[in-house]
Amino acid sequence: MTDLDARCANWGYVLRRRRSGKSVSLIWDGYYRAKSWNESAPQSLHVADVADAWIIEQAWADPRLFRLHRVCLAYHYVHRLDPRIACRLVRLHLKVKLRAHGWDKTLEQARDDLGRVLEMRDKQLNSPFNPLPTAQILCIRQAQLGFT
């Protein structure tokens, strides 16, 4: 399991743990508006890195990532679908002919594209000319607000 694969698995774990029934995305669910969900969450053996899941979520929602790759990542990591069912849903919703034997290749391409988007976002965030706060400052603010 690669580092990016572990980060994506953590992203899926956080989204499955937080699923409210209306949406599965941290961005769509208003993650930073709901402060009290963390206190009522059951404690588990898996320690989730919520800040890293938020970074993966932002990269996943980036428009530079192809829609097919975005859907494949969500079906694999968040919904944990069997490749045959995921391919059927891709054919129904995106009108892309994807077979189960090509799922691994498509998923690998999606992970590579997500890695490229993460690298581009890291370069932008760590640029000295960036007016936005860096990921470290966001993690500190998140800890101060009690989201960890």
- pLDDT tens digits, residue range 20-60? 544 445 554 454 444 444 444 444 445 678 888 888 998 99
Q: How far is residue 146 from each of residues 31, 54, 108, 142, measured CA to CA in Å?
A: 12, 15, 35, 6
Locate all alpha helices (DSSP H) within the chain, ordered by sequence: 3-18, 37-40, 50-60, 67-73, 83-94, 103-125, 135-145
* More confident call, 93 vs 18: 93
Those residues whose C-beta lies under 8 Å from the C-beta of residue 90, and which sit 6 or more positions away, are 68, 71, 72, 75, 96, 98
* 17 vs 115, more confident: 115
CA 33 to chain centre: 18
Provide the pLDDT for residue 51: 82
Counting residues of the chain whose pLDDT is more than 70, the rounded percentage is 63
Report pLDDT for 133.
Answer: 56
End-to-end CA gap in the chain: 25
Return the higher-pLDDT residue of 10 and 143: 10
Per residue in 94-119, pLDDT (tens digit) is 999 998 899 999 999 999 999 999 99
- Mean pLDDT value across residues 52-71: 91
For residue 23, the model assigns a pLDDT of 45
Look at 130 and 87; give whichever has higher pLDDT.
87
Ranges 115-119, 121-125, 143-147: which has the least confidence: 143-147
Tell me if 114 sits within 8 A of 69, measured CB to CB: yes
